[in-house]
Amino acid sequence: IAGITQAPTSQILAAGRRMTLRCTQDMRHNAMYWYRQDLGLGLRLIHYSNTAGTTGKGEVPDGYSVSRANTDDFPLTLASAVPSQTSVYFCASSDILGANVLTFGAGSRLTVL
Amino acid sequence: QKEVEQNSGPLSVPEGAIASLNCTYSDRGSQSFFWYRQYSGKSPELIMSIYSNGDKEDGRFTAQLNKASQYVSLLIRDSQPSDSATYLCAGGGGGADGLTFGKGTHLIIQP
């Protein structure tokens, strides 16, 4: 089934630890995105990528990094997790740059203690 | 800063009635608008997109866009209990930086 796969589904993490959330899509979409969703704040863009080899910062990029080595994978790394990064993280992709029709993964729930 | 505003609700509508969801946006450069539905604990799923002024209908759903007023709405006719969810309005400028989402409106359809 074509779509976006995120891993892990859920994770509890100690503050200060490094964590990578994985995102893989099999739709050959050129654009990929990472959003976080928090109660009362909605979905906020962390980082995005237009195509393999390029990335950009969204609304809330601090404390996060991404890479785009190929079309399919777009991992999000928290170098040193803090409790304020407790959130649900959604990876998304779109097929035509600028068309903005996003397809979302199932999400990764991260708790930082 | 780009903003998309929605009433958080909850909006309670009787089964079979029309549910009306509204959204305003700040960025006049936004060219595309979307309504996503999100069930509790699930990811957002696209239900409607609209790119030009006027109405767009798809089954029980009608999206309306008024760029002069910077206003987007979603009408759900013959509301069903399965329509109970949070509805996210989103806008995009056609660039590479994704969509700006509103905080969502929680819709409850009362049987």
pLDDT tens by residue, chain A, 113 residues: 679 999 999 999 999 999 999 999 999 999 999 999 999 888 999 999 989 999 999 999 999 999 999 999 999 999 999 999 999 999 999 986 556 789 999 999 999 99
Q: Do A90 and B96 touch (CB under 8 A)?
A: no
Sort strands B19-25 and B4-5 into parallel, antiparallel or unpaired: antiparallel
Predicted confidence band of residue B98 (pLDDT cuts 50, 70, 90): confident
The pLDDT assigned to A97 comes to 58
User: Please, is A6 exposed, middle or buried when counting C-beta atoms within 10 Å of its C-beta (0-12, 13-18, 19+)?
Assistant: buried
Q: According to the model, what pLDDT value does residue A96 have? A: 67
A-B contacts at Cβ under 8 angstroms: 63
Residue B44 has pLDDT above 90, yes or no: yes
* CB–CB contact A100 B99 (8 Å): yes
Burial A72-110 (b: 16+ CB within 10 A, else e): bebbbebeebeeebbbbbbbbbbeeeeebbbbbbebbeb
Q: Cβ A104–B43 below 8 Å, yes or no?
A: yes
Residues of chain B contacting residue A41, judged by C-beta atoms under 8 Å apart: 103
Residue in A40, A94, A106 nearest the CB of B43: A106
Q: What is the pLDDT of residue A92?
A: 95
Angle at A3 (CA atoms; ends A2, A4), nearest 5 degrees: 145
Tell me if A99 and B32 make a contact (CB, 8 A cut-off): yes
